[in-house]
């Protein structure tokens, strides 16, 4: 991924918007889902799962939360039960799936269904060796073209379902041979465990609900154990983290995924009090004024060489002179060496342990970092 793509991808990965309620609601409160029971979710807000016997209804939402429905997918046997009004029918036993983004592949892989992937946009960006081999053999086709998804290729592959991000959904409209689309917007979730909980969406669609529930429970348990590594009264260093693009620093807001990781890692995020929708774009004056208070300075990079303090400083000499960087307290996430935008979503506990090892090195032990590393 080149620098321009990195800036867009990271910005999308940190979009934070108003979330919908995930508590139980009765099916007669304006839903029209008589006889259906809503499943309780622990942290995710941008989808709902409803059940009625063995049938499932998946409802996905966009930036506006529950007032912004992007899809309704009935997963069941239409011959035995009527699908709710407005829903698209997906029969059980899905065997061929297409992906609009490489970030969706880790969810499928974790459920053991890699062999079902017949196409993926930007397939050359897939990280898993097994998927790269399938691309080389021609068993997994490229779905991207200059305008987005390749509609002709998508039609030719005849997938049972397309997992689509909200930005690619229009490419699939009107394709008669594509009966079902599942909109995936895990990046809207503010909680690390909220993003990981989207494994339940893939489990429902792929007929792996029990496995998905078990995998999520294990992820949540490991995350809780990682949080407990840091004592409540531990010293919390001040942290700056963001990405630099053409002289502008974009940083997560205080109600973001990254801010939550930093907090749970026993540190204090400099912009924790800035609760806004989306990222914060900082001018250099703000960076210079507030950045000096950082005890650790972090940045997203995409490069195939060792990361230096100058890289973490975004090539800005004034920032390189800040106390954090002079004191060798720089850290980074490098998308060229780890799947920070994909696999990391399903390993929030691993990300958290990386950050704990950076901010509290006495707790790291012999553990090797995976996604976040201190500059050597």
At 242-290, the pLDDT tens digits run 988 877 899 999 999 999 999 999 999 999 999 888 889 998 888 999 9
Both structure tokens of 327: 């004191």
At 36-77, the pLDDT tens digits run 999 999 999 999 999 999 999 999 999 888 999 999 999 998
The one-character DSSP state at 125 is: G
- Report how far residue 30's alpha carbon sits from residue 48's, in angstroms, rounded to the nearest whole number: 15
The one-character DSSP state at 284 is: H
Range from 33-47, 72-86, 347-361 carrying the lowest mean pLDDT: 72-86
Residues 6+ apart with CB under 8 A from 127: 102, 105, 339, 342, 343
Residues 6+ apart with CB under 8 A from 290: 240, 270, 271
pTM confidence score: 0.89
Instruction: Please say if the pLDDT value at position 6 is more than 60.
Output: no
- Report how far residue 342's alpha carbon sits from residue 288's, in angstroms, rounded to the nearest whole number: 32
- Report how far residue 240's alpha carbon sits from residue 246's, in angstroms, rounded to the nearest whole number: 18
- Report how far residue 214's alpha carbon sits from residue 210's, in angstroms, rounded to the nearest whole number: 6
Q: With contact defined as beta carbons under 8 Å apart, do 20 and 191 qualify? A: no
Distances (CA, A) of 169 to 4, 172, 173: 23, 6, 7
Instruction: Please say if the pLDDT value at position 357 is more than 50.
Output: yes
- In the chain the domains, ranked by start, together with CATH numbers, are 3-223 (3.40.50.1980), 231-374 (3.40.50.1980)
The one-character DSSP state at 99 is: E
Q: With contact defined as beta carbons under 8 Å apart, do 142 and 157 qualify? A: no
């Amino acid at each position: 991924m080149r620098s321009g793509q990195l800036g867009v991808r990271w910005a999308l990965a940190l979009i934070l918007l108003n979330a919908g309620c995930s508590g139980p609601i009765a099916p007669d409160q304006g839903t029209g889902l008589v006889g259906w029971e809503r499943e309780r979710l622990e942290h995710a807000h941008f989808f709902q799962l409803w059940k009625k016997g063995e049938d499932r209804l998946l409802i996905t939402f966009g930036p506006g939360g529950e007032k912004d429905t992007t899809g309704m997918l009935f997963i069941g046997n239409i011959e035995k039960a009527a699908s709710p009004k407005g829903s698209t029918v997906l029969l059980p036993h899905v065997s061929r799936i297409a992906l609009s983004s490489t970030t969706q592949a880790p969810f499928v892989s974790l459920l053991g269904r890699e062999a079902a992937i017949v196409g993926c946009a930007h397939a050359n960006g897939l990280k898993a060796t097994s998927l790269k081999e399938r691309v080389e053999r021609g068993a997994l086709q490229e779905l991207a073209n200059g305008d987005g998804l390749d509609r002709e290729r998508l039609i030719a592959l005849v997938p049972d379902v397309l997992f689509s991000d909200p930005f690619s959904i229009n490419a699939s409209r009107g394709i008669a041979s594509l009966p079902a689309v599942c909109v995936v917007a895990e990046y809207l979730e503010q909680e690390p465990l909220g993003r990981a909980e989207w494994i339940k969406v893939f489990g429902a669609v792929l007929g792996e609900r029990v496995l998905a529930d078990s995998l999520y429970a294990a992820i949540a348990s490991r995350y809780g154990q990682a949080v407990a590594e840091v004592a409540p009264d531990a010293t919390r260093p001040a942290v700056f983290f963001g990405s630099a693009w053409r002289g502008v620093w974009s940083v997560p807001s205080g109600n973001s995924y990254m801010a939550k990781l930093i907090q749970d890692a026993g540190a204090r995020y400099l912009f924790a009090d800035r609760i806004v929708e989306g990222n914060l774009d900082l001018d250099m004056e703000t960076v210079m004024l507030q950045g000096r208070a950082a005890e650790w300075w972090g940045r997203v990079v995409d490069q195939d060489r060792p990361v230096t303090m100058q890289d973490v400083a975004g090539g800005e000499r004034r920032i390189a002179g800040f106390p954090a960087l002079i004191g060798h307290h720089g850290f980074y996430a490098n998308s060229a060496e780890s799947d920070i935008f994909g696999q990391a979503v399903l390993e929030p506990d691993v990300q958290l342990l990386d950050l704990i090892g950076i901010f509290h090195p006495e707790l790291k032990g012999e553990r090797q970092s995976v996604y976040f590393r201190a500059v050597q």
